Chain A
């Protein structure tokens, strides 16, 4: 009986997914080509992986909003596999690697069957960060040369890093037209990628940055081709070449090295990285899901395994879940797995229709995208963030990073794990704590029969070594309930656990539950606890605002004293209420600061740091908001300025509530909400006239409280005053109702 409703819902959501699938394919195309080229595989290998991933995982997978395709993390491993097994012949190496990819698909499938998704918990989070940073450095070091137009620089990551200055020198010493054009395209693309997030224009942002790079650089190539009559301005080694006939040129995987130690080693590292990247991404995407669904990671692993096998068979790279593309999907209104399918379908379409144009993409443009990706992976502020958590974390991070760069990826992560363990032993001055208690069950969870709360007690120690035990218990608690985690019997809690608990606390607060951690404060007094408190509260890790207030802060302070409100400049991470607004369904809140609160606590004005998207598609934003608590019972609605994006959303199925007798209002504003009838009766004549005659703000009601935002940036003092007076008049009208 319930079968038909989800089906109808699915069909109703199709237009939205078609749209977001399209936008994702725009970023997937350049990334697919680029990642394949960066791993010395034919450009098509990346597209094949994306297509196989999109088709298979959307049907068999267990997650909802993830996009699958070739992954950033794998570039370095696959590159070393192709170079290592090719013994000079890259194409042969590629065929051997395809074999390894197929086997790794099989392994991933088996992991999924035996429900080993939880194994990823065995990796300490800092060591993982170090490994990812090393991958980022690897991509950056190699692609930086390509971006400048040099495709012949050889050697390992360290060599290539050292050679960067000499490439720059070569470029400046005797610049030819070809080199200037190539490096110009590369460098300008890179600058553009760094600046893209600053441009807040909805039409412009509709096309992802990498696609802009590709489109514009294709335009430049056509300009040289048609206007300058110089079709070969860049050499063939700086252009993409696709096979003439896509179907006839399928490579066949080579298994002849199946039992050699090389092959086994590469297969294992490919599987390791593919698994880790996918699991991390799936977890991260779940945090962005506006419908708060939980992914079935083991089912997803099985699907990824099958997709990888198919992709490898047709000459494609590994299929992994990718965070940047998934976040683009979420931000463009993707609702279910069909978006992943559509992204694959559009890629097929692009390849079939625009094969000629795609071959006009200059490599330096793609390299710039990859350099940007590599930079984002290895971002130096990552190290600073980790250093703030603790010096020992920074040491683990650097150890893993350096070890991975100097040796191989598997050795690197292994050393990362060992150094973390060693650090824990040193910090606790005890091996016994870990050796005696590692395999013992240390978590007790029960539903307290008197209160109906879930109580979880953790004993002995809790670190990456046994976090999976705690996790498996926590996973059994519905996030809409009240959970209490008690660490008072636990002697040691590490950073991986604290970070994991932070995720749980987020997902509980998103779904209306409570997640309390107790027993850590006592604990800190007893043993010096390095990770405990620092992780959970961002305020202490941020620099102190109180020392010197900026000019704007002083003005805010003055304003608050005039209004007789309370002003608090420090960042606060208590924002539970905010997350219930629709606006924050797909955005992650970091913290709020510069809060002004009225005496009766009805008005709360604050600056908010939040982010949209993730990884290379991530945009960090800061805006000023006003939250008003009213006792009035209002319908739940969103009122926004009508613009190109809202018009597009309407095309893909979102509804705008229009008023026939108020054409002007309906044209200027985009109004939406579940309960249309009550919204219509709420928007009375005087309210509509009020909105028409005032500047347009983003306004949202969640029943008992209103959220107002000015522009998508911090408001000036003048603007703050505007917002406040707007809100006061609005309240007057609401009170007269």
Chain B
């Protein structure tokens, strides 16, 4: 298995001004991944709400064959997580509720709680739209971790499904690895050489991962690598913003050792700022 599949997608929805955009995006996603959709609303079910929602679903140009709608009550985070586990979904999709910065922050905080506990992948859309916005450029992390291979595979799969033409594989190299502090000309030269060495090493590693993938996945995509020296998780978010990426794909956390905990914290950097749409790939599934 070189990637995760998104055959069952759970969409949390609320009756906000963005509802239409969120629903349209979800239907489009299901269409791209040829999967089934599970809409979950946490809140009381009323006749008006139901008819409004069905109306919106029916008006979407993209349609999905299998749609189910659940109405549940309780705490949004736990309810969504519970449902996702009961139904064994592959992906949780969360859209922004309103087009405001404060709410983006709110989405981040819910997303943070969900990604922390979800056993599947999570997709966060910061800017859902009714019209289709093509996803042209995907940035994916390539740092040295057992999950990375599947994450990169998933990125190529997503690129194929969404028709993205460009993927940047970003290796974040921790500055402590350089191990030379720049004080004067000599140490600067040393540090520059050491970085060059690390850069090449990381690039070969990432390129090897890509070369292992099926040719069908990689041949139509223009992929490049980019090494960044900086704090993990943080600088990749900044990078995605700088290159105006449409989607950022990251590893989910691994709850194994102390070091993996650090990575968790780094994802939260990104969740706090949400530079662009973010897909967090969980390769563990429901083992």
Residues of A within 8 A of B (CB): 62, 115, 293-299, 440-441, 444-450, 455, 457, 459, 472, 475-476, 478, 486, 489
Contacts and interface: CB of A to CB of B under 8 A. Distances in A.
A297 B183 CA distance: 7
Most A CB atoms within 10 A — which of B227, B229, B238?
Answer: B238
A483 B195 CA distance: 17
A476 B189 CA distance: 9
Contact of B239 (A294, A444, A475): A444
Contacts of B184: 62, 293-296, 299
20 contacts: A62-B183, A294-B185, A294-B188, A296-B187, A299-B183, A299-B184, A441-B230, A441-B231, A441-B235, A444-B242, A448-B226, A449-B224, A457-B238, A459-B238, A459-B241, A475-B182, A476-B182, A476-B188, A476-B192, A489-B242
Contacts of B195: 476
B234 interface: yes
A446 B239 contact: yes
B228 interface: yes
A450 B224 CA distance: 9
B111 to A, nearest CB: 18
Contacts of B213: none
Given A444-B228, A446-B227, A447-B199, A475 B242 contact: no
Given A295-B184, A446-B227, A448-B226, 15 more contacts: A294-B185, A299-B183, A441-B235, A441-B238, A444-B228, A444-B230, A446-B226, A446-B228, A446-B239, A455-B242, A459-B241, A476-B182, A476-B188, A478-B188, A489-B242
Contacts of A446: 226-230, 239
Contacts of A448: 226
Contact of B192 (A62, A296, A478, A486): A478
A553 B242 CA distance: 48
Given A298-B183, A446-B229, A450-B224, A475 B188 contact: yes
Contacts of B224: 449-450
A462 to B, nearest CB: 13
B207 to A, nearest CB: 12
Contacts, number: 67
A85 B26 CA distance: 76
B67 interface: no
A155 to B, nearest CB: 45
Contacts of B231: 441
Nearest to B203: A449
A590 B224 CA distance: 43
Nearest to A488: B242
Contacts of A447: 199, 227
A295, A297, A450, A478 — most chain B CB neighbours (10 Å): A478
B217 interface: no
Interface in B216-246: 224-231, 234-235, 238-239, 241-242
Contacts of A450: 224
Contact of B234 (A62, A441, A486): A441
B14 interface: no
A445 to B, nearest CB: 7
Interface in B260-276: 269
A367 B188 CA distance: 44
Nearest to A436: B272
B191 interface: yes
A455 B235 CA distance: 13
B161 interface: no
Nearest to B183: A296
B146 to A, nearest CB: 25
A447 B225 CA distance: 11
A416 B231 CA distance: 32
Nearest to B181: A115
Interface residues of B, number: 27
B174 to A, nearest CB: 12
A6 to B, nearest CB: 12
A111 to B, nearest CB: 14
A682 to B, nearest CB: 33
B235 A444 contact: yes
Contact of A449 (B188, B226, B269): B226
Nearest to A299: B183
Interface in B182-214: 182-185, 187-189, 191-192, 195, 199
A615 B46 CA distance: 80
Contacts of B269: 440
Contacts of B226: 446, 448-449
A472 B181 CA distance: 10
A513 to B, nearest CB: 13
A190 to B, nearest CB: 40
Contacts of A472: 182
Among B183, B185, B192, B229, max chain A CB count under 10 A is at B183
A293 B183 CA distance: 11
Looking at A115, A446, A450, which has the most chain B CB atoms within 10 Å of its CB? A446
A459 B234 CA distance: 12
A62 B187 CA distance: 12
B191 A476 contact: yes
A446 B227 CA distance: 7
Contacts of B227: 446-447, 449
Contacts of B225: 449
8 closest residue pairs by CB, A with B: A296-B184, A296-B183, A444-B238, A446-B228, A457-B242, A294-B184, A294-B185, A475-B182
A665 B239 CA distance: 63
A299 B181 CA distance: 12
Interface string B5-23: 0000000000000000000
Nearest to B238: A444
A443 to B, nearest CB: 8
Candidate in B181, B184, B227 with the most chain A CB atoms within 10 angstroms? B184
A56 to B, nearest CB: 19
A483 to B, nearest CB: 13
A510 to B, nearest CB: 13
Interface in B124-182: 181-182
A440 B231 CA distance: 10
A445 B230 contact: yes
Contacts of A299: 183-184
A490 to B, nearest CB: 11
Nearest to A449: B226
Nearest to A486: B242
Scoring A448, A459, A476 by chain B CB atoms within 10 A of each residue's CB, the highest score goes to A476
Nearest to B196: A447
A450 B225 CA distance: 10
A445 B229 CA distance: 7
A62 B195 CA distance: 24
Contacts of A486: 242
A472 B191 CA distance: 13
A713 to B, nearest CB: 37
Contacts of A445: 228-230
Contacts of A459: 238, 241
B230 to A, nearest CB: 6
A565 to B, nearest CB: 42
A62 B269 CA distance: 38
Contacts of B181: 115
A37 to B, nearest CB: 37
B241 A489 contact: yes
Chain B CB count within 10 A is highest, among A62, A444, A450, A475, for A444
A472 B230 CA distance: 12
A681 B222 CA distance: 56
